[in-house]
Amino acid sequence: MSRALSLRSVSALLLMSLAGLAAGALPAQAQQRISDLTLHPGSTPRRIVGYGLVVGLDGTGDRSFGGGLNNGATVRSVLNVLRRFNVEVPPNQLRPRDVAAVLVTAEVSPYLRAGGRFDVQVSAVGDATSLRGGVLWTTPLVTSPEEPALASAQGPLTVARDDGSGYRTYRTNNSGRIPDGGVLEVDGAPPLAPETRLLLREPDLRTATRIVAAVKAAFGDSAARVDDPGAVTLAVPAASGGDVLGFLAAVDTLSVRAGEVARIVISGRDGTLAAGGDIRIGAAIVSHHGITLQIGGKNPAPASAAAGAAAVDPKLVSLGGGTSVEDVAAALHAAGAESAEMAVIFEALRASGALHAEVVVR
């Protein structure tokens, strides 16, 4: 009897284990914190900008010096910097091949105080071929040229690694960023009193409704309501004792399931493609710059045979109806399509009605 009971116990444990494995194999709905989906009123970042110089380049700096007078913008900028240190150099003796004029931009939180650090983006404004290995000279940052500086930036640049050549390399190397390279030097305007509203980063009625449901489940039916797809109004419960900030912090920690967005993002710089949601493409034919993409239709080649089809005709891509964005992107890459061509093809698929998703080209 004990043996029979033992066998039953082992069988039950096996069934429980298999059930657990099956449950773990099911895709879980992605949960996100409300703070990741919303913004508080008044938290719009301040955008600041500055003009500066990147020094220490290995002969890849600005090459245009303003003609025979050698009086270009980069030369004048270098001369102004040197004059601050009581150093006078004749303009015709200055050959700043290791210097590049740049534009420095950044976004700063309105709640950041003096001494706080932030990332800055640096982009060449001249004909420098590469900023790799350069160091940004101390650069004042302002919200407007007529206003005093709020911050400054300096430090070595981080430039994206490239594996190409020619124009694509030029576009990739003439910009970079400096992590924590900016320092706020002046406190901004005092923040406004906290508002009991939440603004969705991406307006969506489904997400707003789920946020309200999560807040009501935690704090009561009168704690939240949907204003529109982009805003939710909160009501501080009496149990919080009037602690608005504490209530808002508690709401931020709640988790909800965000609505899936059908969106395709294509990077015009390196051809990276990202798609959100399970996006399928219907029957369509697109021809662009000698590349013909056929989805569906008569006797389409299966997705797995895309590479074989490209081997027969490198400019003809034939796939089955209802294929995924991933298969289309892989087939276009096999056919030699560049990032700009892929962007045009996906835009054409959306315009024809075969692709029901937003296409964003960056």
- Listed by start position, the domains of the chain span 46-184, 197-256, 263-361
For the entire predicted model, the pTM comes to: 0.63
pLDDT given at position 155: 95
pLDDT digits (tens, 9 = 90+) for 267-315: 766 667 777 667 888 888 888 878 888 888 665 444 444 444 444 556 7
Predicted pLDDT of residue 114? 93
pLDDT digit string, tens, across residues 192-235: 777 889 999 989 899 999 999 999 999 999 999 999 999 999 99
Task: Evaluate whether 49 touches 142 at the Cβ level (below 8 Å).
Answer: yes
Q: What mean pLDDT, rounded, does the chain reach?
A: 78
What pLDDT, on the 0 to 100 scale, is given for residue 322?
A: 82
At 141-200, the pLDDT tens digits run 999 888 899 999 999 999 876 554 444 444 458 899 999 999 999 987 776 777 889 999
- State the burial class of residue 45 (Cβ atoms within 10 Å of its Cβ: 0-12, 13-18, 19+): middle
Give 116: exposed, middle or buried? Use CB within 10 Å, 0-12, 13-18, 19+: middle
Angle of the 244-252 helix axis to the 205-219 helix axis, nearest 10: 120
Per-residue model confidence (pLDDT) at position 303: 44
Of 68-82, 114-128, 320-334, 335-349, the least confident? 68-82
Per-residue pLDDT of 20-46, as tens digits, reads: 333 333 344 568 899 999 999 888 889
pLDDT for residue 300: 47
Structure letter (DSSP) for residue 58 = S
Q: Which amino acid is at 139?
A: T
